[in-house]
Amino acid sequence: MGWLFDPANWSGSTGIPLRLLEHLGYTLLTLVIAALIAIPLGAFVGHTGKGGFVIVGLSNALRALPTTAVLILVVLWAGLGDFPVYVALVLLAIPPIMAGTYAGVRAVDPVTVDAARGVGMRESGVLLQVEIPNALPLIYGGFRGAALQVVATATIAAYTGAGGLGRLVFDGLALQDFGQMLAGAVLVALLAVLVDLGFAGLQKLTVSPGLRPVGTGGKR
Partner 1 sequence: MTWIFENWERFWEVTGVHLRLSVVPVLIGFLLAIPFGWWASRSQRARAVLFPFANVLFTIPSIALIVITPVLIGVKILDEINVIVPLTVYTVALMIRSVADALSAVPGNVIAAANAMGFRPLRRFLTVDFPLALPVTIAGLRVATVSNISMVSVGALVGLGGYGQLFTEGYQTDHTEKVLAGLIGTVVLAVLADGLLLLIGRLLTPWARAGR
Burial, 33: exposed, middle or buried (Cβ in 10 Å; 0-12, 13-18, 19+)? middle
DSSP letter at 207 equals: S
Options 12, 66, 79, 201; binder of partner 1; rule CB under 8 A: 66
Check residue 20 for interaction with partner 1 (CB under 8 A).
no
Q: At closest approach, how far in Å is the CB of 137 from partner 1?
A: 15
Q: Quote the least distance from Cβ 64 to partner 1, whole Å.
A: 3
58 scored as a contact of partner 1 (CB under 8 A) = no
* 178 touches partner 1 by CB under 8 A: yes
CB of 71 to partner 1, least distance (A): 9
**Of 146, 135, 145, residue with least CA distance to 206:** 135
Q: Phi and psi (nearest 5°) for 206?
A: -105, -15
**Residue number, 126 or 157, with CB nearest to partner 1:** 157
> In terms of CB distance, is 32 or 76 closer to partner 1?
76
Is 126 an interacting residue with respect to partner 1 (CB under 8 A)? no
Helix %, strand %, coil % of the chain (to 5) = 80, 0, 20
What sign does the dihedral 111-114-116-118 (CA atoms) show? Answer: negative
**Shortest CB 52 distance to partner 1, Å:** 16
Q: Quick one: how far is CA 128 from the chain centroid?
A: 22
Nearest distance from residue 182's CB to partner 1, in Å?
6
* DSSP labels, 123-168: HHHIIIIIIHHHHHHHHHHHHHHHHHHHHHHGGGGGGGT--STHHH
- Tell whether residue 84 is a contact of partner 1 (CB under 8 A): no
Closest of 40, 93, 62 to residue 199, by C-alpha = 93
> Binding to partner 1 by residue 171, rule CB under 8 A?
no
166 is an interface residue for partner 1 by CB under 8 A: yes
Residues at the site binding partner 1, with contacts judged by CB under 8 A: 60-61, 63-70, 72-73, 75-77, 148, 151-153, 155-156, 159-160, 166, 169-170, 172-173, 178, 181-182, 184-185, 188-189, 192-193, 196, 218, 220
